[in-house]
Amino acid sequence: MIQHQGRGAREILNTAPPPSGPNFASTPLSQLSRSLGVVHKDEISTLQFEIYQPPAARETDSDTSSQKRRRSHTGPETNAKSKFRRRRQPSETNSVSAASDSIKSQSSSHSRETTSSRGSVASDKSKFSDRTKWDVEQLSEESCWICGNQRTNLDVRHVIARKDPGFHDISSRGIVPFSHRGDKANAIPLCKRCHDGFDSVRPQVIILPADLQYFLDVEEQDFRERSENAQGTIRRRLLPSGDQYRAHLLNSRPTCVEEKYLNNLEDSDLPGGLYQAYIREDILGTRQHPIPLGKYDEPRIWHGSPTAMSMHFRHWHV
């Protein structure tokens, strides 16, 4: 057992999982600087999930070996052409600079937090420039990252919401690698249904790095190094970026990730590492075709910040 300070990916595993899926801890923001407590390295390996695989669907010429577009399993397949959304073209005149985003986000970060009637934590999509939205949609083939459907209400959402009161704290401490929430590393394309489940006060869908143990190990090592070399001011925390996570997966080939998914990652030109979605409440199935809780489908590539994705769930009611 290892005891250390700081917050990170570890805290989301501090509570027992629900009957059919994982559960994650809820800790007030005021405790971000407190000790994580005791970490059991073998705790991750004890989690067991039933992996849901949607039924196979007709492949198209646009499918790649690294990442095939997911298809809806709740009804008959529709004409592929009708699924496609009209692509949003980047607008240079509406592009928001990083410095401007940072100033605006700071001025609005203390505004009162509100939630929608469905319990969704608001994420201001206007904080992303049109160029960022367009880039992110192309990375996902203009489909929802979770369910894979191409819908008219698909949009680029914030992983760490605009109204998150703790953003500037975790950014200044190096927990996330960006200083404004309009950064592309904080963006994920989701349809409205999946966004409601992802951004809910009590998340119905959770997304985590496929090799979560890697981040626990890096955090523990970084804490030891900062403690041993502490002289006056302690340096900022060093946490893996999306590129470093990808390099770890390809170089270390962790056994917790099936080799076929690592091979797909190696063959893919998409940036980022592998992430796994977990269904805590069935928001994607129907009465006739319910979806088992737990792991949903196979690990997928996401381009963004792995620590931002882990921190998204740090203070929701789970």
Sign of the C-alpha dihedral computed for residues 216, 221, 224 and 229 taken in this order: negative
- Position 230 scores a pLDDT of 67
Q: Are 85 and 151 in contact (CB under 8 A)?
A: yes
Residue with more model confidence, 57 or 244: 244
Q: Is pLDDT above 60 for 77?
A: no
Domains of the chain: which residue ranges? Answer: 2-53+84-311
Which of 278, 207, 218 lies closest to 248 in space, CA to CA?
Answer: 218
- Position 261 scores a pLDDT of 93
- Position 61 scores a pLDDT of 45
- Position 101 scores a pLDDT of 47
Q: Is pLDDT above 50 for 315?
A: yes
Residue 4, SS3?
strand
Give the predicted TM-score (pTM) of the model: 0.60
- Position 165 scores a pLDDT of 78
Q: Are 195 and 157 in contact (CB under 8 A)?
A: yes
- Position 89 scores a pLDDT of 41
Residue with more model confidence, 77 or 252: 252
* Segment 281-293, tens digit of pLDDT: 777 766 677 777 7
Q: Is pLDDT above 50 for 99?
A: no
List Cβ neighbours of 316 (8 Å cut-off, separation of 6 or more).
26, 121, 200, 201, 202, 203
Q: Are 142 and 84 in contact (CB under 8 A)?
A: yes
The confidence band for 80, taking pLDDT boundaries of 50, 70 and 90, is very low
Using a 10 angstrom Cβ sphere, with 0-12 exposed, 13-18 middle and 19 or more buried, the burial of residue 179 is middle
